[in-house]
């Protein structure tokens, strides 16, 4: 009788692991990896990793310091750390926070307005706007430069903080 309970407990504990098996995770220091996304979420954590993401990714989260990330497409991109460089293609939502991160991307959403939020200190963000968009810049000494594709209206931009610079390319 006890053996049946153990078998059931093992079967239940395996189910959550299988549900997350498709996610891509890179954790560590100074690794170099390439991945082909097919809708998976991606987590990059640690220090000094170089990661290339091709294809269509789900939510991409980059945390830590000194990472270099290149992506083709991400449902969302969150960059939280220090001295992270994220260069890429297209994302529908962007979050950049903490210190001295550099992000270059295309901000575009097919359904709702695309959104970007920049906060922290000394961020450098360069965006090409490909659809209706809302951009919020807070913090200190952050730089946002943007351009809109032909036929796309200028994004709605709000700002607060100290010494932030916003410019159209």
Q: Are 86 and 62 in contact (CB under 8 A)?
A: yes
Residue 71 sits at the vertex; the CA angle it makes with 67 and 72, to the nearest 5 degrees, is 175
Q: Are 65 and 83 in contact (CB under 8 A)?
A: yes
pTM of the model: 0.87
Q: Are 18 and 35 in contact (CB under 8 A)?
A: no
- pLDDT at residue 110 tops 80: yes
Q: Is 14 helix (H, G, I), strand (E, B) or coil?
A: helix
Task: Dump pLDDT digits (tens) for 13-59.
Answer: 333 333 344 899 999 999 999 999 999 999 999 999 999 999 999 99
Classify residue 140 by its DSSP letter.
Answer: B
Domain residue ranges in the chain: 22-168
Task: Dump pLDDT digits (tens) for 138-169.
Answer: 999 999 999 999 999 999 999 999 999 999 99
């Amino acid at each position: 009788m006890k053996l049946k309970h153990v078998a059931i407990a093992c079967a239940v504990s395996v189910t959550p692991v299988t549900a997350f098996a498709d996610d891509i995770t890179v954790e560590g220091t100074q690794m170099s990896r390439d991945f082909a996304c097919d809708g998976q979420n991606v987590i990059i954590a640690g220090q000094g990793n170089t990661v290339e993401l091709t294809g269509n990714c789900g939510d991409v989260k980059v945390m830590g310091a000194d990472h270099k990330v290149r992506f083709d497409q991400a449902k969302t991109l969150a960059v939280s750390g220090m001295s992270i460089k994220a260069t890429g293609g297209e994302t529908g939502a962007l979050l950049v926070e903490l210190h001295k991160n550099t992000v270059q991307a295309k901000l575009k959403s097919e359904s709702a307005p695309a959104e970007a939020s920049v906060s922290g200190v000394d961020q450098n963000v360069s965006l090409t706007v490909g659809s209706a968009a809302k951009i919020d810049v807070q913090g200190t000494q952050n730089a946002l430069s943007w351009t809109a594709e032909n036929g796309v209206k200028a994004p709605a931009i709000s700002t607060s903080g100290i010494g932030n610079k916003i410019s159209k390319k």
